[in-house]
Chain A
């Protein structure tokens, strides 16, 4: 039986949900199957796995909460020695927000837009009558300071939309810590943030955990991140436990194949190709802005893309990467500068481009689900560019569709499916096939792997490289993820606030000496080793002290 130091004890947890598949009767699905874990006071356990592994569901089960139609149907959940899975609503209300609190992935959505931050941060504390309003506010300000939020005294007076995403995520951590809980569930708290922001938030969360001595379940799909904050790690897959051990054991001596695959992800080897004489696509001094905005989103961007090669545009959100894609495709005519394709200038606006010019540049998007018409079959989706650009009909069209499906490794039986019947990775493959169907010389890939699980993303990257080798297509690859860039780029343009900060071949850009921003960006990418976070933060402190 659990000793007095055990805070949370989950035994043989079983969680089910009702699934409504299109065209089928609702059926029961097992989300979490026979998972047990035990967490001591003041310890941090990382739950890691791909989407659908059940990690968030287990995290919320520690609050005896099931999202949507999720039901906790079996096993024991003991918090502070008390069984909570079968507890009544009154008991649950008394422990939620007092003994255990929750930090959501998207703080931007988890804060009520019409209430001031302070009101929301201290709400649970006041609701449970833990202290007076002024004491709670003092505590919140203290936490704002611990979490290195700007102007901690007045920060709480602002509304959620008045602060940045990284700040809001830290405010959510303050909200979770304010009532002095025993346990905090962190559900992917840094996943939605840029790497340079992620490292600060991660540091702040770790410091706050350390300072308050709170125990935590830290849920993420990123092993490198979880290795920085946890004492132990549990690897989950399809709702079952794969492996459980200390951080060191998991990353240095994983026992299971699946864990090994997670660790070796993004180990794609890619030989860098040298620039040829003539670029296929050239952006020359491009400047652009949206509508009547007073500032340029892009200023003087010049990059070259060579035939059969990959140019990666790297940068944080708001750096202008996606705007660059809109300029090249003609969706946003630039205010200045030219786009030339095979030496000839492309008309700036989409409507002035010929069908042939349109065919040469295709796009793949981040969100494959919304980039396809849900009411069309895969066959119709891929067949459309064949009809539009090549006037292929009937048997010839269907043969070509099958060729394309083979090329994206989906094979037979997929042509008649609807997007809803495909997995995330399969959807993205169909989008790739649709782009390939036009036989383009350039494909713009806008964050195409960002919404995918690491292993699935790996498969997509390998497919893209493979297709490049066979078809000789060039990629303009837009991403915020340095690991992806390392895996596939031939040349790199680092973008920051609408400008190209650093540009050259991959080996040039990724070798020192770096400019300040590239240095910051590269050093912020979590590495899968113990103590990485402290090391980087310490280096940065020393540097800023030196300056």
Chain B
């Protein structure tokens, strides 16, 4: 078997193991909270008998490890149970909201990733000159502002003053793609500003690191243009660190958007999670936790595999 295939399979297996460990943590975490679901449903005034009946009905009288495997088996089949607060099926509520979150994240990623890499290249090309400093200055300013503040500033400028985009990003299944884009424009813009600096600076650093190499000098002594050298000779050798930071930021776009979703009242996972945390709806919190963990681990796994594949020594062994 090709050695790269072995490595990739190893990584996949490790990722699965990690996901399993995360699921245990999520389960244990909710387990050690005082009270249980029966208590939460029936409230403080419930009698012992009522609690016991409720527990038997919900299967809570069984040992924890059995309940864990039941929960896990359900989750793998897409069954997260029923929300306590409104008795709705968690899986179907989540799937719609997850779709919304992924849509917002994709729009933000589609803008921010190419832009960050391009700005990184540009910063390297004009290193220590004004374009580099301007790019660094703007991106650092935007990352230094708290995202909710950034959200309100954007809202004030683009929604209130200019009236280009709605301030509340309400989307539903009946909207066309264009309408949806218009609805998420502001949150996507804010998210872009939030993740841009990190990716751009890592791209810049990763390429600058490679720019010290002797083969960059070789390229320069061939009479190549600076931007050609950066794109053709430096970029391919700095893919691994760039992909890593891109993936971390993509994960953030999915997992870390709670604040932005609340600011723009966007019907995504974050909003959903916050609602149910405040209602102590444990099954929903568990489901969200598991999905977030999967996204995080999955994206990092992709970064790992791309790093492996970008190494010519591994791709083409002696």
Taking Cβ atoms with an 8 Å cutoff, the residues of A that contact B are 63, 65, 67, 92-98, 101-102, 104, 106, 109-115, 120, 123-124, 127-128, 158-159, 161-162
Contacts of A96 in B (CB 8 A): 220-223
* 10 pairs, CB–CB < 8 Å, chain A vs chain B: A67-B217, A93-B224, A97-B223, A102-B218, A109-B214, A111-B218, A114-B310, A127-B222, A127-B224, A162-B316
Docked Cα-Cα span, A112 to B234, in Å, equals: 9
Docked Cα-Cα span, A112 to B218, in Å, equals: 9
CB distance from A87 to the nearest CB of B (A): 12
Q: Are A104 and B217 in contact (CB under 8 A)?
A: yes
Docked Cα-Cα span, A106 to B214, in Å, equals: 8
Docked Cα-Cα span, A240 to B220, in Å, equals: 27
Docked Cα-Cα span, A114 to B310, in Å, equals: 8
Residue B215 CB within 8 A of the other chain: yes
Docked Cα-Cα span, A112 to B222, in Å, equals: 13
Q: Are B221 and A113 in contact (CB under 8 A)?
A: no
Q: Are A97 and B224 in contact (CB under 8 A)?
A: yes
Residue B219 CB within 8 A of the other chain: yes
With both beta carbons as reference points, the residue of chain A lying nearest to B318 in the complex is identified as A162
Interface residues of B in 297-318 (CB under 8 A from A): 310, 312-313, 316, 318
Q: Are A104 and B218 in contact (CB under 8 A)?
A: yes
Docked Cα-Cα span, A65 to B217, in Å, equals: 10
Contact A159 to B214, CB < 8 A, known contacts A93-B223, A96-B220: no
Residue B236 CB within 8 A of the other chain: yes
Residue from B218, B225, B312 within 8 A of A93 (CB atoms):
B225
Residue from B213, B221, B237, B316 within 8 A of A109 (CB atoms):
B213
CB distance from A174 to the nearest CB of B (A): 13
Residue B233 CB within 8 A of the other chain: yes
Interface residues of B in 66-111 (CB under 8 A from A): none
Residue from A109, A127, A159, A161 within 8 A of B223 (CB atoms):
A127
CB distance from A185 to the nearest CB of B (A): 9
CB distance from B287 to the nearest CB of A (A): 42
With a 10 A CB-CB cut-off, give which of A65, A92, A112 has the most chain B CB atoms.
Answer: A112
Q: Mark B19-49, 1 if CB is under 8 A from A, else 0.
A: 0000000000000000000000000000000
Docked Cα-Cα span, A120 to B224, in Å, equals: 12
Q: Are A65 and B221 in contact (CB under 8 A)?
A: yes
Q: Are A112 and B215 in contact (CB under 8 A)?
A: yes
Residue from A112, A124, A161 within 8 A of B318 (CB atoms):
A161
Q: Are A110 and B217 in contact (CB under 8 A)?
A: yes
Docked Cα-Cα span, A115 to B237, in Å, equals: 10
With both beta carbons as reference points, the residue of chain B lying nearest to A95 in the complex is identified as B223
- Total of A-B residue pairs, C-beta within 8 Å: 73
Apart from A106-B214, A112-B219, A114-B312: 15 A-B pairs, beta carbons within 8 A: A67-B217, A94-B223, A96-B221, A96-B222, A97-B222, A97-B223, A101-B222, A104-B214, A104-B218, A110-B214, A112-B233, A113-B312, A115-B236, A128-B223, A162-B316
Contacts of A67 in B (CB 8 A): 217
Interface residues on B, range: 20 to 34
Contacts of B233 in A (CB 8 A): 112, 115
Q: Mark B215-244, 1 if CB is under 8 A from A, else 0.
A: 101111111110000000100110000000
Docked Cα-Cα span, A169 to B318, in Å, equals: 18
Docked Cα-Cα span, A112 to B215, in Å, equals: 5
Contact A97 to B225, CB < 8 A, known contacts A162-B316, A162-B318: no
**5 closest A-B pairs by CB:** A97-B222, A109-B214, A96-B223, A97-B223, A124-B222
Q: Is chain B's interface secondary structure helix, strand, loop, or mixed overall?
A: helix
Docked Cα-Cα span, A523 to B118, in Å, equals: 55
CB distance from B216 to the nearest CB of A (A): 8
With both beta carbons as reference points, the residue of chain A lying nearest to B239 in the complex is identified as A114
Docked Cα-Cα span, A93 to B229, in Å, equals: 12
With a 10 A CB-CB cut-off, give which of B225, B236, B312 has the most chain A CB atoms.
Answer: B312
Contacts of B219 in A (CB 8 A): 112, 123
Docked Cα-Cα span, A26 to B45, in Å, equals: 78
Q: Are A124 and B215 in contact (CB under 8 A)?
A: no
Contacts of A128 in B (CB 8 A): 223
Q: Are A123 and B215 in contact (CB under 8 A)?
A: no
Q: Are B223 and A110 in contact (CB under 8 A)?
A: no
Q: Are A101 and B221 in contact (CB under 8 A)?
A: yes
Contacts of A113 in B (CB 8 A): 215, 237, 312-313
CB distance from A121 to the nearest CB of B (A): 11
With both beta carbons as reference points, the residue of chain B lying nearest to A102 in the complex is identified as B221
Q: Mark B243-273, 1 if CB is under 8 A from A, else 0.
A: 0000000000000000000000000000000
Docked Cα-Cα span, A28 to B117, in Å, equals: 37
Q: Are B221 and A97 in contact (CB under 8 A)?
A: yes
Contacts of B312 in A (CB 8 A): 113-114, 159, 161
Q: Are A110 and B218 in contact (CB under 8 A)?
A: yes
With both beta carbons as reference points, the residue of chain A lying nearest to B316 in the complex is identified as A159
With both beta carbons as reference points, the residue of chain B lying nearest to A96 in the complex is identified as B223
Q: Are B237 and A114 in contact (CB under 8 A)?
A: yes
CB distance from B206 to the nearest CB of A (A): 14
Contacts of A97 in B (CB 8 A): 221-224
With both beta carbons as reference points, the residue of chain B lying nearest to A104 in the complex is identified as B214
Q: Are B223 and A98 in contact (CB under 8 A)?
A: yes
Docked Cα-Cα span, A90 to B299, in Å, equals: 43
With both beta carbons as reference points, the residue of chain A lying nearest to B218 in the complex is identified as A110
Docked Cα-Cα span, A120 to B237, in Å, equals: 15
Docked Cα-Cα span, A339 to B237, in Å, equals: 45
Docked Cα-Cα span, A63 to B217, in Å, equals: 12
With a 10 A CB-CB cut-off, give which of B222, B237, B310, B318 has the most chain A CB atoms.
Answer: B222
CB distance from A495 to the nearest CB of B (A): 23
Contacts of A101 in B (CB 8 A): 221-222
Q: Are A109 and B318 in contact (CB under 8 A)?
A: no
Contacts of A109 in B (CB 8 A): 213-215
Contacts of A92 in B (CB 8 A): 223
Docked Cα-Cα span, A101 to B220, in Å, equals: 11
Contacts of A162 in B (CB 8 A): 316, 318
Docked Cα-Cα span, A158 to B316, in Å, equals: 9
CB distance from B62 to the nearest CB of A (A): 46
CB distance from B78 to the nearest CB of A (A): 41
Contacts of A124 in B (CB 8 A): 222-224
Docked Cα-Cα span, A161 to B215, in Å, equals: 14
Docked Cα-Cα span, A489 to B303, in Å, equals: 54
Q: Are B313 and A161 in contact (CB under 8 A)?
A: yes
Interface residues of B in 203-218 (CB under 8 A from A): 213-215, 217-218
Q: Are B223 and A65 in contact (CB under 8 A)?
A: no
Docked Cα-Cα span, A136 to B306, in Å, equals: 33
With a 10 A CB-CB cut-off, give which of B220, B221, B233, B236 has the most chain A CB atoms.
Answer: B221
Residue from A98, A110, A114, A161 within 8 A of B236 (CB atoms):
A114
CB distance from A131 to the nearest CB of B (A): 15
Contacts of B221 in A (CB 8 A): 63, 65, 96-97, 101-102
With both beta carbons as reference points, the residue of chain B lying nearest to A112 in the complex is identified as B215
Docked Cα-Cα span, A97 to B221, in Å, equals: 6
Docked Cα-Cα span, A120 to B312, in Å, equals: 15
Contacts of B217 in A (CB 8 A): 67, 104, 110
CB distance from B82 to the nearest CB of A (A): 52
With both beta carbons as reference points, the residue of chain B lying nearest to A105 in the complex is identified as B214
CB distance from B230 to the nearest CB of A (A): 12
CB distance from A183 to the nearest CB of B (A): 12
With both beta carbons as reference points, the residue of chain A lying nearest to B237 in the complex is identified as A114
Contacts of B222 in A (CB 8 A): 96-97, 101, 123-124, 127
Docked Cα-Cα span, A94 to B225, in Å, equals: 10
